């Protein structure tokens, strides 16, 4: 009975990673999901700017900077900590990030450094202002990236008992039953999203100012805390144990400590009396400006919907064809058509109307 249940639960994963393939050209699920994560992240940033009384358009340049920082940080940390000897032998290969090899710890570090430069150099505000905003975009990005990894049959889990209800065979990787560690990290993203937005609505409904830095500290603690335990179920990328811990766990510990310290400062320390509206005063919009902004956005949305409906109606009308005249009717009364040729000439619109009918 146990063997039967194990065989029944064993998932054989052989999904084609390409969503669209035309000859040598292909679009992969990973690329689509990555683009979706960027798009949703951008919209989330716009929401956070507006929610904190700033112009949402300010999120555009920040998004570009974050994209660069995340990719560069993720690539460098992977090369330096996970496969140092290989990339030091051929340093030029570090530039070929599209071939794979990105570390989420490096992505987090790159994100923090971009936020630090953005706030300290450009805005002259505490770094916690921007990091708190970006924090709400991270859970969805976690889900998208790991789902893309799952479609690619990469970053697989460690081998497991074939009778385990969690066992998956990634046939494009090997024939060994493994833990679906990508799905574990997707679950991490879902849990992080629930906690983050529960915290947001708690402060929103209670009309309490949210401590500046709490959002960032919470997502850092959630992600790297859960990541530490998921590492036990992941396949080794390289032989990277340090003191019995894997490299991913060692890199998670500093982030986890920083996150816990941040939460403590927000709940019991000096950060509990600080909120974003105290530091972004020179960027805040007045009530009149916010009302005008919302009105313009509403009008733009209405215009877009109107244009879309007009295009659909136009396309529908162009596809509507006039009915063909009945040839038997014309043959039945040939003399009628010849008898009054001047009527058609005198009233061309009537003739056209009759044909259309």
Ramachandran angles phi, psi of 22, nearest 5°:
-130, 100
Report CA-CA distances (Å) from 224 to 28, 82, 228, 229, 255.
28, 17, 6, 9, 7
Categorize the per-residue pLDDT at 140 as very low, low, confident or very high, splitting at 50, 70 and 90: very high
* Residues 49-66: tens digit of each pLDDT: 999 999 999 999 999 999
**Per-residue model confidence (pLDDT) at position 287:** 83
Report DSSP letters for 205-250, one per residue.
HHTPPPPTTHHHHHHHHHHHHHHHHHGGGBPPSSS--BTTB-HHHH
pLDDT tens digits for 307-330?
666 666 666 566 555 455 555 444
Q: At what angle do helices 29-51 and 138-152 cross, to 10 degrees?
A: 180
Q: How many CA atoms lie within 13 A of 320 on its CB side?
A: 7
Between CA 161 and CA 10 the distance in angstroms is: 10
Using CA atoms, how far residue 35 sits from 39, 118, 267, 335, 336, in Å, is: 6, 23, 36, 69, 67
Which residue in 233, 129, 244, 256 sits closest to 177, CA to CA? 233
Q: What is the chain's length?
A: 357
Residue 128 CA to chain centroid, in angstroms?
22
Entry pTM? 0.78
Q: Which residue has the tokens 């987090």?
A: 108
% of the chain at pLDDT higher than 90 = 58
In three-state secondary structure terms, 325 is coil
Look at 338 and 107; give whichever has higher pLDDT: 107
3-state secondary structure of 19: strand
Residue 44 near residue 52 (C-beta atoms within 8 A): no
pLDDT at 72 over 60: yes
Helix H or strand E segment including 11:
strand 11-13
Contact residues for 303 (Cβ-Cβ < 8 A; gap 6+): none
The values of phi and psi at residue 19, to 5°, are -75, -40
Extract the tokens encoding 264. Answer: 């403590």
């Amino acid at each position: 009975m146990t063997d039967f249940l194990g065989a029944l639960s064993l998932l054989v994963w052989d999904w084609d990673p390409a969503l669209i393939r035309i000859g040598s050209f292909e679009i992969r699920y990973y690329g689509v999901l990555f683009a979706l994560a960027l798009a949703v992240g951008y919209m989330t940033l716009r929401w956070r700017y507006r929610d904190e009384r700033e112009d949402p358009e300010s999120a555009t340049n920040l998004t570009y900077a974050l994209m660069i920082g995340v990719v560069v940080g993720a690539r460098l940390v992977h090369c330096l900590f996970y496969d140092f000897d290989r990339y030091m032998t051929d340093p030029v290969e570090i530039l070929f990030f599209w071939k794979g090899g990105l570390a989420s710890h490096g992505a987090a570090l790159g994100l923090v450094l971009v936020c630090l430069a953005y706030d300290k150099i450009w805005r002259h505000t505490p770094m916690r202002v921007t990091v708190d905003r970006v924090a709400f975009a991270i859970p969805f990005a976690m889900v998208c990236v790991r789902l893309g990894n799952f479609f690619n049959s990469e970053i697989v889990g460690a081998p497991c008992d074939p009778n385990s209800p969690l066992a998956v065979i990634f046939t494009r990787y090997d024939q060994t039953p493994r833990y679906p560690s990508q799905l574990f990290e997707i679950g991490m993203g879902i849990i992080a999203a629930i906690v983050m937005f529960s915290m947001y609505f708690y402060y929103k409904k209670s009309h309490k100012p949210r401590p500046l830095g709490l959002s960032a500290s919470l997502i850092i603690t959630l992600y790297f805390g859960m990541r530490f335990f998921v590492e036990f179920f992941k396949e080794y990328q390289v032989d990277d144990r340090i003191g019995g811990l894997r490299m991913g766990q060692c890199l998670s510990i500093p982030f986890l400590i920083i996150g816990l310290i941040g939460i403590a400062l927000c709940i019991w320390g000096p950060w509990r009396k600080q909120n974003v509206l105290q530091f972004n005063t020179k960027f805040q919009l007045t009530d009149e400006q916010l009302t005008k902004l919302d009105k313009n956005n509403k009008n733009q949305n209405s215009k877009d919907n109107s244009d879309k409906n007009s295009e659909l109606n136009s396309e529908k009308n162009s596809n509507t064809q006039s009915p063909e005249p009945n040839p038997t009717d014309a043959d039945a009364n040939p003399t009628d058509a010849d008898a009054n040729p001047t009527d058609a000439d005198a009233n061309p619109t009537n003739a056209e109307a009759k044909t259309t009918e």
